Structure 1
Amino acid sequence: MSGLRRALWAELAHLARDRFDLALLTVLPLLCLVVMGGMLSGGSPKGLGVMIVDQDHSAASRGVIRAIEASDAVRVIGVGSDLAEAFAAVRQERAVAVVVLPSGLGDGRARAVPRAVEIFYQTAFLSTGVLASTRLQLAVAAELAAQATAQAGLGGVRLLRAPLPGVQVTLLGNPGASLEWYLGLLIGPAVLHLLIAVTTAASLGRELEDGSLAAWARRVGNPAAALVGRFLPHVALGMLWLCLWLLWLTLAQGYRFDGAITLVAVGGALLFVGTAAVSALLIALTGEIATSLSASVIYAGSALAYSGASLPLTGGILFARVWSSVLPLTHFVALEMDQAIGVTLATWAQQAAVLALVPLLAGGAALLVIRRQARRAA
C-alpha cells in the first residue's frame, strides 16, 4: 500500500473514531452556512426609514415624496419642516437618511441656479446608508426630470425637441445590488478557509513528538505522499461545502455568475490545498499545536478584512498591501468576483496561477523543514 493511501485510510479511520474532529468538518460548516444563509436570505435591505423635510409644500415636493414612497428599499416614516426633528430620528435609529426638499423647488425652472435637494445619510452603518442614499437619489432625480418635462409647456417646445443626454447605470455582476449575493460570495469561502486552516493544523499536529515531526517522517517514509493523503479528506469536505454553498446561491436563490461557476470551484480547490500546505508549514516550524492554531486563526480569520473586497486597500499603508497580496484568500476573492462579471480565461488564469504557487511554496518549505528534522534526529 502506498504512503498516500495509508495516510488517507489512517485519517479516515481517525475521523470515524473521533466525533469531535468529524463534527468540525461536517456539523460545524453546516451550521455556519445555514446561519449565514438565513441571515443573508433577505437580499438587499427593505423599508429603510427616511425622514423628509418639506420646506416647499408645493405640488413638486409632494410629487417627489410620492416617488420616494414608491421605492420598496426605503420607507417614509415622517414628513415635516423641522430639520432638527429629522436628525433626531436618525440619532434614535428610526431613520437612516434625511431628504430636504428646499423652498422654491417647484419653480426651479425659473431660477438661474435651481435649488438643490439635499440627502443626509447615516454612515455609521455604511452599507444601509449608501443603499438608502442611492435609491433616494434615483427616485428624486427621476421625479424632478419628469416634472421638468411636464412644466416645459409651449414655451419650452424648442427645449423638448432637443435631445437630452441620457444616463443609464448598470451594475455588473450584481445588478440587483443584493447584499446576499455580495456577502455570500465573500463570507462562505472565508469561513471554510478558516475551518480548513484549523482542522489541517490540528490533524498534522497529532503527529508531533517533542516538538518535531521527525519520528512521523521516518515512520511514513514519504512525507510528501503522507501529507497529501492526510489532508485529502479535509480538502474534499471543504470543496463539498463550497460547492453546496455556490449551488445554494445560484440555483436556490436565483443569482448567477456571468462567468463559469466551475472556474470558481477550481479556484476553491487551489485555495484549500494552499491552506493545508500553510498549516503543514506552521506545524513544522512551530512544533506546537496551540501556536499553529493561533497563527492559523490570525492569518485566515483576518484574511477577508485584508482581501480588499470589504475594506479598500488602495493608498493604504505598505504593510496592509503586502499582507493582502500574500494571503491566498485575496486572490481567490479576486478570482471569484471576476467570474461574477465574466472575465476572460486569461485573467482567471493569472489569479489561479498565484493560488497554485501557495501549495508549491508553503508545501515545499514544509517538506524541507520536516526532512531536516528527520536528518537531525537520525
Structure 2
Amino acid sequence: MTSLIRRELKALWNDPWQFALVTYIPILGIISLWWLFSAGMPRQLPVAIVDHDQSQLSRMLARRIQANPAAEPIGYQDIASAKRAMTQGEVYALVVLPYRLKRDLLTGHSPTIEIRYNSQFLLVGKLLSSQIQLSLADGLLHVASKKQLALGVPKAQAEINLRPVTSQTTALYNSNSNYIGFLVPPVLLALGQLLAMLVFANSLNRELRLNTMSEWFSLGTRRVLFAKMLVYTPLILLQGRFILAILYQFLNLPLAGDFGLLLVAQVAMLLAVWLLVLVIFFLLQDCARVISFCTALFAPAFPFMGITFPTLDMPVLAQLWRKLMPSSHYIDTHVGVVSYGQGWDTLADQLINYWGFLFLIPVIIFLATRVKRAHLADQSLSPEGAK
C-alpha cells in the first residue's frame, strides 16, 4: 500500500493542474468569496421611484426610503421607463406612488402603493421588498397618527389605535443578517464539493490519458482506489478545515458546536463524492465525458441545500436529484452544529442518511470488473498481444 501511495503522490507532483487544485486555487477562491461578501449586507441598492402624486406626503415617503441603508431611490417620470431600467438591471425594485395619494388617505380611501422587484435576484428582491415596506409603513403610520390627533383622539389612545398589538422579532440564526455567515459557508461548501470531484476525477482520468490501466489492474483495482482515497481525502479535508478556520476563527462568525463534528461529517460527504465519481468513471471511460457529466451532476449543489429556497417546494425530480448530492446531506449537519450546537448523537442520526450511497459499491465492483475484462480482451487482440 505504501508503494501505491507513493505512486499517487508522484503523479500529483507531476501534474501542475492537479497540484493547483489541492493547493493555491482553493485559497484564491476563499479570498475572492470573502472579498465579494465582505460588506456583510447589500447597501444602497438602486430602487426606481415613480411619484405620480408630487405631494409633500409622497416626497416624505421617498425620503423614508432613502433613509433606509439598503435602498438608493432614483426618480423616474413614468412606469415604462422604470420598467425598462429594471429589465436592463439598472434598478432592482420599483415603487409607484399613485396620483391623489395624500387626498385619498385624508378622505378615508385606501390608495394602492405598488412595490415591484426583480425576483430573479432572489435574496436582493426579498431584502428590498421587506425594507421598502418597512420604510413606507413607518411613514404612513406617522400620517395616520396626525390624522387621529386632528380628530381629537388623545395621543396615548392614538398609539393604541394604530398599534393595538406590538411584536418583537428575534432571529435565532444569523441574528445580525450578515451575508457572510448566511451565504458564504454553503457557497464554499458547493465549490469545495465541485473541487473535490475535479480532483478525484482527474486522478482517475490520468490513468486513461497515460494508458496505465493495465498497471492499475495488475496492482489490484481495490488497492489502487483505496490508495487514491487515502491520498486525496486528507488533502481535501485539510481544505475544509482551513475554510472552517477562516470563517469561525479568523472572521469570528458564531459557532455553537464543535469543529470535530463538522470534520467527521465532511469525511462522510467526501466518501459519498468518491463513490459517485467512481460510478461515472467506470460507466463512461472517457476523460471529457467524465468531467462533463460530473460537473453537470454537482454544479447545482448550492440551490439544493435549501438555504435560499425551500427544498420541499421543489419538483419531485429535483428532490431526487438533491438526495444524490452529498452536500445536501452535509448542510443539515453544518447548520445544526453552527447554529444550534447539536451533539454527537444527532450527528450519528444524520450520518445514517448516507446509507443509500452504499448501494453504489456493488455497482462499482460490477462496472470495474466489466472494464477490466474489456481491457484484457483488447490487449489480447492487439498485435503485441497476438505475438
TM-score band, normalised by the shorter chain?
0.7 to 0.9
Determine the structure 2 residue equivalent to 1:199: 199
Distance 1:304 1:251 in 2: 24
Instruction: Deviation per CA, 1:113-146: give whole Å up to 9, x if none.
Output: 5334321223343432322222111112223234
The percent of aligned pairs where both chains have the same amino acid is 25
Residues 121-132 of structure 1 aligned to structure 2 (within 5 Å): 121-132=117-128
Paired residues of 1:56 and 1:104 also in contact (CA < 8 A): yes
- How has the CA–CA distance of structure 1 residues 266 and 54 changed in structure 2, closer, same or farther, with 3 Å as cutoff? same
Tell whether the 8 Å contact from 1:196 to 1:272 is kept in structure 2 after alignment. Answer: yes
Q: Is the 8 A contact 2:216 2:224 kept in 1?
A: no
| C-alpha separation in 1, matches of 2:103 and 2:159 | 18
Q: Unpaired runs of 5+ in structure 2?
A: 378-387
SS where residue 40 of structure 2 aligns?
coil
Give yes or no for contact 1:267–1:332 (8 Å, CA) kept in 2: yes
Q: Are 1:353 and 2:338 counterparts?
A: no
1:87-236 matches, within 5 Å, as: 87-91=83-87, 93-103=89-99, 105-106=101-102, 111-153=107-149, 155-157=152-154, 158-161=157-160, 164-207=164-207, 216-220=216-220, 223-236=221-234
- In structure 2, distance between residues paired with 1:104 and 1:255: 49
Distance 1:206-1:120 versus aligned 2 partners, 3 A rule: closer
Q: Count residues with an aligned counterpart.
A: 371
Is residue 308–residue 324 contact of structure 1 (8 Å, CA) maintained in 2?
A: no
2:42 equivalent in structure 1: 45
Query: Are the counterparts in 1 of residues 106 and 147 from structure 2 also a CA contact under 8 Å?
Result: no
Other-structure match for 2:27: 30
207-216 or 14-23, which deviates more: 207-216
The CA deviation at 1:16 is 2.6
1:308-339 deviation digits (Å, cap 9, x = unpaired): 44555545443222222222122223333444
Q: 1:276, CA displacement in angstroms? A: 1.7
Q: Tell me whether 325-334 or 246-255 shows the greater mean CA deviation.
A: 246-255
1:219 and 1:213 map into 2 onto residues whose CA distance is 10
Give, in whole Å, the separation in 2 of the partners of 1:249 and 1:185: 8
Corresponding residue for residue 242 of structure 1: 240
**1:322 maps onto 2:320 in alignment:** yes
Higher relative contact order, chain-length normalized (CA < 8 Å, sep 6+): 1
Structure-1 residue corresponding to 2:8:
11
Q: Deviations over 1:158-180 (max 9, x none)?
A: 44356621233444423344444
Cα separation, partners in 2 of 1:55 and 1:258, compared to 1, 3 Å:
farther
Farther-moved stretch of structure 1 (108-117 vs 278-287):
108-117
8 Å CA contact 1:214–1:370 kept in 2: the answer is: no
Q: Residue 265 of structure 2 aligns with which residue?
A: 267
- Whole-Å Cα distance in 2 between the matches of residues 73 and 261 of structure 1? 34
Cα distance in structure 1, aligned partners of 2:199 and 2:98: 60
Q: CA 1:178–1:350 in 2, change beyond 3 Å: closer, same or farther?
A: same
Counterpart Cα distance in 1 of 2:133 and 2:290? 50
Change (3 A) 1:11 1:185: same
Does the Cα contact within 8 Å between 1:53 and 1:101 map onto a contact in 2?
Answer: yes
1:302 is paired with a residue of what secondary structure?
Answer: helix
Residue pair 2:45, 2:92 contacting (<8 A) in 1 also? yes
Against the structure 1 CA distance between its residues 92 and 280, is the aligned structure 2 distance closer, same or farther, given a 3 Å change threshold? closer
- The within-5 A match list for 1:251-330 is 251-309=249-307, 313-330=311-328
CA distance in 1, matches of 2:369, 2:31: 42
Normalising by structure 2, report the TM-score.
0.79
Distance 2:248 2:145 in 1: 42
Q: Give me the whole-angstrom Cα distance separating, in 1, the residues matched to 2:192 and 2:100.
A: 56
Check conservation: 2:145, 2:158, Cα contact below 8 A. Answer: no
Q: What one-letter code is carried by the residue in structure 2 that aligns with 1:48?
A: L
Deviations 1:232-276 (A, max 9, x none): 232222222222223323344443245545433332222112212
Structure 1 Cα separation of the partners of residues 158 and 35 of structure 2: 52
> Which residue number corresponds to residue 68 of structure 2?
71
Cα deviation, residue 73, structure 1: 0.9
Query: Against the structure 1 CA distance between its residues 218 and 252, is the aligned structure 2 distance closer, same or farther, given a 3 Å change threshold?
Result: same
Aligned mates of 1:81, 1:169 — CA distance in 2: 37
| CA RMSD, 1 decimal | 3.6
Q: CA deviation at 1:71?
A: 1.3
Q: How far has the Cα of 1:197 moved from its partner?
A: 1.4
